[in-house]
Structure 1
Amino acid sequence: MKNLALLLFLITIQVFAQTPDEKQLKLIYDAALTQGKAYDWLNYISNQIGGRLSGSVQAQKAVEYTKQQMESLGLDKVWLQPVMVPKWVRGTPEFAYFETSPGMTTNIPICALGGSVATPPGGVKANLVEVHGLEELKSLGRKKLEGKIVFFNRPMDPKKIETFEAYSNCVDQRTSGAAEAAKYGAVGVIVRSMNLRLDDFPHTGAMSYGDTPIKDRIPAAAISTNGAELLSITLKLNPDIKFAFRQSCQNLEDVPSFNVIGEIRGSVHPEEIMVVGGHLDSWDLGQGAQDDGAGCVQSMEVLRLLKKTGYRPKRTIRVVLFMNEENGLRGGTKYAEEAKAKNEKHVFALESDSGGYTPRGFSFDCSDANLAQAHGWKKMFEPYLIHFFEKGYSGADILPLKNDQIVLAGLRPDSQRYFDVHHSANDTFDQVNKRELELGAATMASLVYLFDKYGVVQ
């Protein structure tokens, strides 16, 4: 009995020893984990709407749905911000094979890269040249590349624990490969998917032709990692194999769309604006659940959690669901342009665009003084296993807001599984864990609460 009484006494002391901030964080996490809405919102966006290519009917449905849900939260204001966006359509499913000898073919999973032109109606068929980077094209020159299909096969580096670093180190072959190969007379490019595991899912993503004249643009497609491995081995055994692929994608005229915005007006400093957001558009192959439906519903949940726990923000807090991050960044650019035109004072922005996996912490793009302030709060996050508070990249959509005063932050979930589904057909709702998603939303709401309460260091 004495031991039990001592235990109860110690627990009581611990509870009463909590600071007001620690109590508020616990309220936020408890509400997210027991009364969360993010998972239900994501279920609808993923399964009832699906992939949301910029300019598509599905993207517009997502705009309407998220606006309606934000209005139901009783926010002070909800509105749509018009933005013109590019419209690229995939067309009929892509088809590819390699031919080892006349009539002997093996089918390979591919998908067109976003922004690519189509092949001729009958497709493209040519010998392959395997390279491992853009620099290698220069050494080969026109003599060895003209009339060929260039096969970019530089994998993501598995030794990189930070998988976004591995992605950054090889994504240039996807974004610029076609433009560079066209300079040497290539007739098409095939790019290894940005994926750390071996599977049969080709991963799309944005590519650019730069200033390449329209008549000189060549089709570009991604090949699955299993397909890339097989193709590379076969090419070493038989350098004369031919590769054939067909795709019917199109770049159409820009169309109108919207950023979706909702806010709680600040009670003390309404002129100081804090943003939390993700991008509402996605690629079309899957449902866009992890990229970036998760970030959108987490951002909406931040405002709901603050209201649910009875917290009244000092500053104006906005959730912004940006349109067209994937193939243009028009939404983020438009939001920043209008903020500047209205002379709005943005002091903080947080983006979630790394998936709805277990949160680990945040990366900050800010002054040393503001980073030190965030480090001062780190102890409060440790009970929730949040430990990463470092300088680094924040997010594409909030980057246009950057200036010397604002604090930009990015939620950093565990990234080891993210590129398994990134931009591919298996980015679906069943890949999202409810508890992980809720923990991420609570972690974001907690950081927003602290920066709102204490402000940024000027």
Structure 2
Amino acid sequence: MSKELLGGNGRSPDRRSLLDKMISGEIVTACEAYDNLRVLCDEGGGRFGGSPGEIRARDYLLQKLREYGLENVHTEEYSYTGWVRGPAALKVTTVAQAAGYGHAGGYGHAGASSEVAGQSHGVGRAFPCFSLPHSPAGDVEAEVVFIGPGGPREFEEAGDVRGKAVIVTNEASPGLGRMLHRSEKYGRAVKAGATAFIYMRTGSMLAETGTVRHNETGAIPAVSITREAGMEIRRLMERGPVRVRVTTTDDVKPLVGWNIIGDVSGTGSPGKVILVGAHLDGHDISQAAADNGGGSAVILEAARALAKHKDLVPKTVRFVWFTGEEIGLLGSNCYAQAHAGEAEAIEFVFNCDVAGGGGTPGVTTMGFEETQKRFRQYSDEMRTPLRIGAGVMPYSDMYPFHLLGIPSVSFGSSGPDGSWNFIHTAADTFDKMTPRGLMLDSLVVARLLTRLLYDQAIPHKTPEETAASIAHLREVFEFEGRLPNGASRGLNPAGRSVPT
């Protein structure tokens, strides 16, 4: 059909515009993203590394890629340090009531004895919790201290925390001026001599998960609790020093992961590649619908639409679903290592992480001024507002390609209500997603890809420019247990395989 619209020889000065219109019509009138996400969530669950759901999701993607007509459909294996969740427990063992507490001005009845008050309030109280990925197995009893956001300033203000269990929140550190990842907070706790890490979400009723190390086992037990549990412990601390027992029973074992790959081959310059990625994996406490089932379904829909009009696609579009992102960008690190010799041919990397909500879309441009300029131009041309971030963000799958000097963005959108306040919690489920939101984000992504396919390539950065762009993160990577350039340790790309 595309050739017929172009004319007999298939030539036109406005192939870019025609492809834009054809894929837009395809996505608006026949979008399959919602149905695909439903299968990924209901059949694959959280798709956590090593789970049966991860394998079911992998096989479903391979089936759909072949059905949609993509070429070179295959997987590439890698080995990594897997983490297996076990039961966890958090229990108050001692509340040492401070002198004068429980008398006039305190919360207790006037005249109540410290022994009665101390034994009747909090001791033996167990709080629901779960381990954070890459927590080791452990059994620790220690005095608990509240740190807050867990940045440099908060740990300095807390003083000596050696031998103590620390409660750290998921908040940003005021005045820090950059993202503060939980793995950095954990690393700061370890370096300060803490013996247990208790992660408290500040939103109501839900505990939040997320890795504390990158492809390696942590040094101290790490558990997550709700705001309500954390605030109750803090109220007990108002009485006097509180001791808690933190127990984790998690295990580690060698595992094999897969990146799932399929191409829409270019008709003009097939050796030039636009790489489009999303992480298929999520966390094991939910269906991981928004993070990142939505992103996976969105790029699958873009692949479907582009494959229908491949005669209008001038360069190869390589779609890659990475795994292991949530525990250290494992799949993308391995892919970038295995294909480093092809970096010159990869003109651009378009990563899609936390998408499908249909709210205001945005891109992180990884410090490339030309990328910022280009996407502002695209925003105006498409009459689609885009939030454009300028900084280098090392916590999603475009980052390993940034280390190769390849220009990249990470695309995401806000949820229907303007936020994704349930990400990394048990509430990240399919029912939060809508057909309209997935269609809108698929449309924006496919239209942005059309422009990248036809426009002049953005120059790569030199190794020196790349090193300079991440120099300010070296201390952060040290606390997070990553290599000095931010890559994860101990990964082994194993090569190509094709599951039956």
Q: TM-score scaled to structure 1, two decimals?
A: 0.81
Measure how far apart 1:440 and its partner are.
0.9
**Structure 2: distance between partners of 1:183 and 1:325:** 25
Partner of 1:241: 242
Q: Tell me, yes or no, if the aligned pair for 1:76 and 1:265 is still in contact at 8 Å.
A: yes
1:312-371 Cα distance to aligned partner (Å, 9 max, x none): 210000110011111122211121122223566100111111332224243323643454
Paired residues for 1:256-271 under 5 Å: 256-271=256-271
Q: Which position in structure 2 is the counterpart of 1:63?
A: 58
For the structure 1 residues 180 and 403, does the alpha-carbon distance in structure 2 shift closer, same or farther, using more than 3 Å as the test? closer
Task: Report 1:242-391 matches (<5 A).
Answer: 242-252=243-253, 254-308=254-308, 312-342=312-342, 345-357=345-357, 358-365=359-366, 367-382=368-383, 385-391=384-390
> Could you say what secondary structure the match of 2:183 adopts?
helix
Write the deviation string for residues 127-153 of structure 1: whole angstroms up to 9, x where unpaired: 211123354445655xx5344212224
Preserved CA contact (<8 Å) 1:54 1:85: no
TM alignment of 1:50-199, pairs within 5 A: 50-92=45-87, 94-98=88-92, 100=95, 101-102=118-119, 104-105=121-122, 106-120=125-139, 124-132=140-148, 133-135=150-152, 136-137=154-155, 144-153=160-169, 155-156=171-172, 169-171=179-181, 174-183=182-191, 185-193=193-201, 198-199=203-204
The CA deviation string for residues 142-175 of structure 1, in whole angstroms up to 9 with x for no partner, is: xx53442122246347x99xxxx99x5443xx31
Do the aligned partners of residues 406 and 425 (structure 1) sit closer, same or farther apart at CA in structure 2, a change above 3 Å counting?
same
The superposition leaves residues 416-450 of structure 1 with CA deviations (integer Å, 9 ceiling, x where unpaired) of: 76552222211111122221122111111101111
DSSP 3-state at the match of 2:421: helix
Aligned twin of 2:230? 228
Change (3 A) 1:443 1:312: same
Q: What is the distance in 2 between the residues matched to 1:457 and 1:177?
A: 35
* Gap runs ≥5 in structure 2: 1-13, 96-117, 460-500
Contact 1:287 1:429 in 2 (8 A): yes
Cα distance in 2 for partners of 1:39, 1:211 equals 35
Q: Is the 8 A contact 1:86 1:328 kept in 2?
A: no
The number of residues matched between the two structures is 416
The residue that corresponds to 1:11 in the other structure is: none
Distance in 1 of aligned mates of 2:373 and 2:85: 47
CA shift, 1:269, in A, is: 0.7
Aligned match of 1:4 = none
Contact 1:85 1:256 in 2 (8 A): yes
Q: CA deviation at 1:375?
A: 2.9
Question: Matched residue of 1:336: which SS?
Answer: helix
CA distance change for structure 1 residues 456 and 178 in 2, over 3 Å: closer, same or farther?
closer
> Bigger shift: 224-233 or 48-57?
224-233
Amino acid at match of 1:227: A
Identity across matched positions, percent: 24
Distance 1:302 1:427 in 2: 23
Q: Which amino acid counterpart does residue 296 of structure 1 have in structure 2? A: S
1:201 paired residue number = 206
Render the CA deviation track for 1:221-252: whole Å, top value 9, x for unaligned. 122223223333432x2232332333211122
- What CA RMSD, in Å, does the superposition of the two structures yield over aligned residues? 3.1
Aligned letter for 1:129?
Answer: V
